[in-house]
């Protein structure tokens, strides 16, 4: 079941990246070292995408090898939200990403709720 925590952790790790993209210019100006200031906006967006894609890709693989019950795949119901959020993160910057941080937190909450409910209700 540590696979379930791993997937949720990947989504949780993606949230600060959105905030770092949002505050990139201010962070650069103040000399703050973040992932976004160190690697730049493009690499930060790629890292964000990798974290989200791997979070979703791990679930069917874990199910295929019997590590999680089929109910864990209920988290895939949040995939359209993740895709829309990915589009926002890849095309916006600055303060226009403020709402994306909230959406990412909501995505994480819904993902983990469906994941937990799916596992709990699995035979």
Range of the domain at 79: 2-121
pLDDT score of 1: 65
How many domains is the chain built from? 1
123 vs 119: CA distance, rounded Å: 9
Total Cβ atoms within 10 A of residue 103: 18
Under-50 pLDDT residues of the chain: none
Cα–Cα dist 10/16, whole Å:
11
| CATH number of the domain bearing residue 95 | 1.20.120
Q: What is the pLDDT of residues 23-42, one digit of tens each?
A: 999 999 999 999 999 999 99
pLDDT score, position 123: 84
Give the Cα separation of 92 and 22 in Å (integer): 9
What is the Cα–Cα distance from 69 to 48, expressed in whole angstroms?
27
The span from the CA of 79 to the CA of 62, in Å, is 17
Compute the C-alpha angle 55/86/60, nearest 5°. Answer: 25
Q: Any idea which residue has 């925590």 for tokens?
A: 5
Q: Give the C-alpha separation, 67 to 89, whole Å.
A: 32
> How many CB atoms sit inside 10 A of residue 108's CB?
20
pTM: 0.94
pLDDT for position 58: 97
Report the pLDDT value the prediction gives residue 18, as an integer from 0 to 100: 98
């Amino acid at each position: 079941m540590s696979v379930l925590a791993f997937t949720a952790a990947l989504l949780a790790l993606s949230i600060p990246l959105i905030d770092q993209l949002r505050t990139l210019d201010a962070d650069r100006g103040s000399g703050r070292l973040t992932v976004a200031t160190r690697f730049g906006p493009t690499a930060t967006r790629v890292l964000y995408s990798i974290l989200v894609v791997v979070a979703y890709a791990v679930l069917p693989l874990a199910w295929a090898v019997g590590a999680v019950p089929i109910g864990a795949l209920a988290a895939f119901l949040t995939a359209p939200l993740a895709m829309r959020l990915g589009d926002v993160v890849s095309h916006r910057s600055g303060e226009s990403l403020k709402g994306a941080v909230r959406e990412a937190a909501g995505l994480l909450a819904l993902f983990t709720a469906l994941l937990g409910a799916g596992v709990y209700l699995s035979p």
